[in-house]
Structure 1
Amino acid sequence: MTDSAPPFVVPRPDALDALREIDLVLASLHAIASDEHARDDDWYGREPARFVDGWRVTRRLAHARRLLDPGFDHDIGPDGMDEAERACAGSPYWVSSETPAPGR
């Protein structure tokens, strides 16, 4: 993105809806990690999966992405990607339990 890029415009209700979905996921993951049962390996191995599946976390995050998507430039560049694809192209993704987590 360059300094000459147009402003990022998403309708306020959509941005707030996306923020609520993201906040639900972040606050819930924090609550799971902070729970007194988090010291129990069996519970800690089970509870995040129960949350992700039961609360449909992937659907919620996909919904948040769809709400924010209209604010990006969708023109395909010489690299064959639009603005959002280009920004995410180098993002690390989980592939297996042996893959180390990326630093931030």
Structure 2
Amino acid sequence: MLDSNKNIIIPGETLLEALAEVEFILISLHKMGSHYQDKPTEEYYQATTNFIDDENITQRLAKIRRILSERFNTSLGVDDMDDIERRMQNINFWKPRTGS
């Protein structure tokens, strides 16, 4: 990791913006889970899908990612990757189930 990436300062107001987005997503999902715990699973799935689409959750998460990553020094290392790329390279992203 680059020395310049070991301590990154993000203004409090900017962090509060990111935290508000996280809070909205987290608490909303928690409330949905509680509301639908004794209801048919299909209703929960539909409500969750609608929430993700109607509330632009992927865009909100992209905003959080931007806030958290924009102050990183993205100079490439000897492996032609920056610190963020290097850390993210081994994430196992969702894939469709095989045989379904």
| TM-score interval for Structure 1 and Structure 2 normalised by the shorter chain | 0.7 to 0.9
Counterpart residue number, 2:63: 63
Q: How high is the TM-score relative to the length of structure 1?
A: 0.79
Q: How high is the TM-score relative to the length of structure 2?
A: 0.82
Percent of aligned pairs with the same residue? Answer: 33
Counterpart residue number, 1:16: 16
Q: Report 1 or 2 for greater relative contact order, CA contacts < 8 Å, sequence distance ≥ 6.
A: 2
Deviations 1:41-78 (A, max 9, x none): 22012011000000000000001111111232211112
* Structure 1 residues 69 and 81, CA gap change in structure 2 (3 angstroms): same
Counterpart residue number, 1:93: 93
More off after superposition, 66-75 vs 54-63: 66-75
Structure 2 alignment gaps of length 5 or more: none
SS class of match (1:71): coil
* Structure 1 residues 63 and 54, CA gap change in structure 2 (3 angstroms): same
Map 1:70-85 onto structure 2 (within 5 A): 70-85=70-85
Counterpart residue number, 1:102: none
Please give the root-mean-square deviation of Cα atoms over the aligned residues, in Å. 2.2
Structure 1 alignment gaps of length 5 or more: 100-104
Q: Would you say 1:41 and 2:38 are equivalent positions?
A: no
* Structure 1 residues 20 and 47, CA gap change in structure 2 (3 angstroms): same
